[in-house]
Amino acid sequence: MLLFILHINPFLKRTSFAIVSALSWSIGTTILLCLPGTAFPKEKWFDSIWLDKWVHIGLFSTLVFLWCWFATKIKGKENRRFLEIAIYFFLYGIAMEFVQKYFIPNRSFDVGDILADGIGCVSGLLISLRVYKKNRPL
């Protein structure tokens, strides 16, 4: 059935891998952000290299990058859409800090995580602007 739909609708065929990738990464990120604090190893050297912050930067830069990839499949104002995606995921990161504080056992609100999420969103936006603008046919 899915193959039939993809055959009929060229838009779905063109966007299917991009949307599956973006949705999969979004779900995986949400799962990681909702794990209880006891699910993570407690190693002192993790703190010394700020591993948690690097993970947040990587998660959010990839989120923005993949959703911008999907956005390139839709005709229109890509620069504006890319910026909207980055802002949306920054707000998502802030919301997830509140979720962690109030609903996830052994997790807390961390302004450092919000800053790392913001750095990740800006990084994903800048990389997307560079990669997707360079590869776009004229």
Q: Quote the pLDDT of residue 2.
A: 47
Q: With CA atoms as reference, report the closest residue to 110 among 86, 91, 88, 93.
A: 93
Residue 72 has pLDDT above 70, yes or no: yes
Contact 32, 63 (CB under 8 A): no
Per-residue confidence band for 40, with pLDDT thresholds at 50, 70 and 90: low
Rounded Cα–Cα distance for residues 25 and 31 (Å): 10
Of the given ranges (50-54, 81-85, 93-97), which has the lowest mean pLDDT?
50-54
Q: Quote the pLDDT of residue 14.
A: 66
Phi-psi region of 48 (alpha: psi -120 to 50; beta: other; left: phi over 0): alpha
- Most confident of the ranges 4-18, 30-44, 112-126: 112-126
> Exposed, middle or buried, 99 (CB in 10 Å: 0-12/13-18/19+)?
middle
Averaged pLDDT, 48-57 = 82
C-alpha torsion sign, points 46, 101, 96, 119: negative
Contact 26, 93 (CB under 8 A): no
Rounded Cα–Cα distance for residues 124 and 57 (Å): 9
Percentage of the chain exceeding pLDDT 70 = 77
Strand boundaries in 21-72, DSSP class E: none
Of the given ranges (73-77, 85-89, 104-108), which has the lowest mean pLDDT?
73-77
Residue 48 has pLDDT above 60, yes or no: no
Contact 5, 57 (CB under 8 A): no
Query: For tokens 């504080």, what's the residue?
Result: 101
Residue 6 has pLDDT above 50, yes or no: no
pTM of the full structure:
0.83
Averaged pLDDT, 110-116 = 95
